[in-house]
Structure 1
Amino acid sequence: MHSTRRAALRMAFVATLGASLIGLAPLAAAQQTQNPDAVKVLGKMGKATVIAEGHGSRVIYIFFDANCPYCHQLYTELRPRVGKDGLEIRWVPVAVLTPTSVTKGAAILQAPDRLKAFHENENTYGKGPTGSGGGIAPASKVLPATSAILNANNALLEATKSPGVPTLLYRDKQGDAMLVVGPPDAQQLKDILASVK
């Protein structure tokens, strides 16, 4: 993706995030589709760096930004479901919303226990030094290997052609590759979880 398109996407993410946080825009409804982009990207997800929760054969990949309020909402709604009925959530960290998305993503990825750091970020969401976004303290230094991980994960998100986060990828019971953009409402989430192969 060209740097100008990437910058435009980031500005759109930030504008949507800012408007939502101050109450000018409602939460977007999730849109679920079966499409060729989902098929291609699902085939490449083995190369993604993920943070796995639960163990099972029913897998959902969720692209998230450490500062994304909708990702945090989805994280909260999934708490009672992780690991149930063979459900495994593979969180895919990206950095697309704000400058601290990179350093907070790095703090998670560079932690000795990535899952614990991810939980810290989400469980203290909005309680960090700035009072908004993920609660983990940003990394003081982003290692080259960490930058490479975030860049690779960002490229996978871009390949889905999704306009934002959270973005969910999974196969349904018919074997179709499904792409869900935006935070699903309670009924949509129930339907998605029931349909995961």
Structure 2
Amino acid sequence: MLRISDLAIKPTLLAVSLLAAAAAGQGVSAETAHPDAIQVLVERGVEIVDQFDAPGGMTGYVGTMRGKPVSFYLTNDKKHVVIGPMLSDTGENITETNIRQAITGPQNAEAWSKLEDSAWVRDGDESAPVVIYTFTDPNCPFCHRFREAAEPWIKAGRVQLRHVMVGILKQDSLPKAATILGADDPESALKVNQSSYGNGGIEVDREIVSANHKRVTANNSLMNNLGLSATPSTFYKVDDGTIAVKQGVPRPEELAGMMGSSRP
């Protein structure tokens, strides 16, 4: 979500009154398809992707600015815009849902297809109904913590993690990732790295590394091209069928939503 300051509007204002020029105060300009208060944002660089009926008689908009998603709401009088998240009386983040459906969901769906074709290691039952892709560096302590948190779902056969192996954190991250990917049994090699993480992880096999390092560098490039900067970065499907992404270790209260069910 863009900060209000990114739109050159004072961040201390929660509700922003965007009054158009004096002659343009009648709603929709002849030259544009948007009400004047919305056109002000368009002229500041916002690209509108979708609009929808919002609570309270308002009209909601989602769009992008400098490649980042932004959402805002036009009041009934068409002269004022409220920028930022909107919550329902049940606590649902309406803004987040609409951004995911209109912007990040389609983007992440495209990323999902690329992840399917990447070099990954299955962790869990191949018939598990929930598939989750996660960028994993063998030396990443947060990846290790995420795997430990996901263990109940994996053990219960509900989830399969597909580890897209990258090597970005330490000098031996890439060799370790290549050793895991190129092993005769990659899943067992992954488990060796997990179980021995505190003692340095899997032992590097230089012959395997030589044959598989390009697979890891391709994953590194994919992660970079998707604009991700942290491991783990995890793609998962939510209830409405769209795909979401979580960078870093999920909070405990986020796990059930990511795993598709409550803790076994």
Question: Taking structure 2 as the reference length, what is the TM-score of the superposition?
Answer: 0.55
Whole-angstrom CA distance in 2 between matches of 1:191 and 1:170: 9
SS state at 1:63 partner:
strand
Of 167, 184, 192, the match for 2:233:
167
2:154 is the alignment partner of 1:88 = no
SS state at 1:88 partner:
strand
2:176 is the alignment partner of 1:110 = no
Aligned to 1:44: 114
Aligned to 1:12: none
2:144 is the alignment partner of 1:78 = no
Aligned to 2:199: 127
Whole-angstrom CA distance in 1 between matches of 2:243 and 2:257: 15
Unaligned 5+ runs, structure 2: 1-98
Q: Which moved more, 1:40-49 or 1:175-184?
A: 40-49
* AA in 2 matched with 1:161: G
* AA in 2 matched with 1:90: R
Aligned to 1:178: 244
2:135 is the alignment partner of 1:63 = yes
Aligned to 1:20: none
- Bigger RCO (CA 8 Å, 6+ sep): 1
Whole-angstrom CA distance in 2 between matches of 1:43 and 1:110: 22
C-alpha displacement of 1:76: 1.1
2:197 is the alignment partner of 1:147 = no
C-alpha displacement of 1:156: 2.0
- Identity among equivalent positions (%) equals 27
Whole-angstrom CA distance in 1 between matches of 2:183 and 2:159: 25
C-alpha displacement of 1:193: 1.5
Asked if 1 retains the 8 angstrom alpha-carbon contact of 2:135 and 2:165, the reply is: yes
Q: 1:25-79, CA deviations, whole angstroms, 9 ceiling, x for partnerless residues?
A: xxxxxxxx84154222112122111111222232100110000000000111111
C-alpha displacement of 1:153: 1.4
Whole-angstrom CA distance in 2 between matches of 1:45 and 1:167: 12
* AA in 2 matched with 1:40: E
Asked if 2 retains the 8 angstrom alpha-carbon contact of 1:56 and 1:83, the reply is: no
Asked if 1 retains the 8 angstrom alpha-carbon contact of 2:132 and 2:160, the reply is: yes
Q: 1:140-183, CA deviations, whole angstroms, 9 ceiling, x for partnerless residues?
A: 24545412211221122123211110000122221112111000
Whole-angstrom CA distance in 1 between matches of 2:202 and 2:164: 17
Aligned to 2:4: none
Aligned to 2:66: none
Identify the structure with the greater helix proportion. Answer: 1
Specify the structure having the higher radius of gyration (Cα): 2
What is the aligned-residue RMSD (CA, Å)? 2.1
Whole-angstrom CA distance in 2 between matches of 1:141 and 1:119: 20
Unaligned 5+ runs, structure 1: 1-32, 129-134
SS state at 1:183 partner:
coil
Gap change, CA 1:81 and 1:145, over 3 Å in 2: same
Whole-angstrom CA distance in 2 between matches of 1:37 and 1:155: 17
Whole-angstrom CA distance in 1 between matches of 2:131 and 2:165: 16
* AA in 2 matched with 1:47: D
* AA in 1 matched with 2:217: N
Asked if 2 retains the 8 angstrom alpha-carbon contact of 1:63 and 1:92, the reply is: yes
Whole-angstrom CA distance in 1 between matches of 2:132 and 2:208: 28
C-alpha displacement of 1:191: 2.6
Question: Taking structure 1 as the reference length, what is the TM-score of the superposition?
Answer: 0.72
